[in-house]
Amino acid sequence: MLQHNFKKVTGLTPQQIKQGKNKQNELISLKLAFRPPLNWQHLQSFFALRMIQGVENVTDNHYSRTFVIGSDKGWFRVSAIQDKHYLKVEIHLPNIEKLTMILSNIERVFDLNADTKTIQSQLLKCGVPKDNIITGLRIPGVWDTFEAGCRAILGQQISVKAAITLLSLLTKELGETEGEKYYFPTAKALANSDLAFLKIPNSRKQTLRLFAQHNLNTADSSIDDWLNIKGIGPWTVAYAKMRGQSCPDIWLNTDLIVKKQLEKITIDSELARPWRSYLTFQLWSMA
């Protein structure tokens, strides 16, 4: 939680952050507290199934990924210290002016501030069977809305495994590299590519290019404006809000897996407000 003393959390003073460059290129080590319980296994399993090769790496104990923020590139690695209720975080970031922003995003990606006890109570009230409830459920986030949009577009009407294969290929072909590390492609790189290496329908390639061009031209626009792009519908927008912005009340009731689960159990989704994103992930986990 970034509201606590910044020097205590990072070992750096605000003045040091303002100075900018990490001249020694040192690894920054710190702790980020979370509100227990946290279901680390569920997070890791979800991330592992959707891991983009070269960008992300998932083991039982660690999650790591590269990121781009403005003109700066970096990477981070996290592990959960469950008994002390914090994530151990290591960050490589040449420009430490961006550190506060990076930490805020890591908090969001791992949903560290969720009140999981209250959320669990709501899920039980709406009809989730007690035996199926995931204690400490979090929303596994995506680094930014552009990546979330690409994941959703390439994941339309195919399996998760097939979608991640496409995303890994997209990154290999268009992402920048440093050694063995890859960075997720920029909107500019996608907009300027014919995407011939992707074995998908031309209509989907066109959607991906139009989406990239939209993000290039209107970076600060609302995600809802994506609906003006041919090939993007409400599911894609909702998915990007849920994982790219970590909105807590997204109900993906048109999702195929969710619909199949709703045929098996009776759920009153209105009783899950304002935590319907967690209901979505709960039902996904029961498939």
- Could you tell me which residues come within 8 angstroms of residue 132 by beta carbon, excluding any fewer than 6 positions away? 282, 286
**Residue 52: pLDDT above 70?**
yes
> In 20-84, at which residue ranges do the beta strands (DSSP E only) sit?
28-33, 56-58, 63-69, 72-81
Q: What is the pLDDT of residue 71?
A: 86
Give the pLDDT confidence of 223-268 residue by residue, as tens digits.
999 999 999 999 999 999 999 999 999 999 999 999 999 999 999 9
Percent of the chain with pLDDT over 70: 91
Pairing relation of β-strands 86-92 and 72-81? antiparallel
The predicted structure's pLDDT at residue 15: 52
Q: E strands, the chain, where?
A: 28-33, 56-58, 63-69, 72-81, 86-92, 177-178, 181-182
Determine the pLDDT at residue 7.
47
Task: Evaluate if residue 18 carries a pLDDT over 60.
Answer: no
Confidence class of residue 220 from pLDDT cuts 50, 70 and 90?
confident
- pLDDT tier, 19 (very low <50, low <70, confident <90, very high otherwise): low
d(CA 219, CA 190): 15
Round the average pLDDT of the chain to a whole number and report it. Answer: 92
Residue 53 has pLDDT above 60, yes or no: yes
**In the block, which residue shows the tokens 């899920």?**
123
Residue tagged 């910044």 (tokens): 6
Nearest Cα to Cα of residue 219 among 250, 194, 249, 187: 187
Query: What pLDDT does 38 receive?
Result: 97
Instruction: Kindly report, residue by residue over 63-109, the tens digit of the pLDDT.
Output: 999 999 888 999 999 999 999 999 999 999 988 999 999 999 999 99
Tokens standing for residue 225: 């404006």
CA distances from 211 to 51, 221, 231, 267 (A): 22, 12, 9, 34
pLDDT digits (tens, 9 = 90+) for 115-156: 999 999 999 999 999 999 999 999 999 999 999 999 999 999
For residue 199, give every residue at least 6 positions away whose Cβ sits within 8 Å of its Cβ, in sequence order, or none.
none
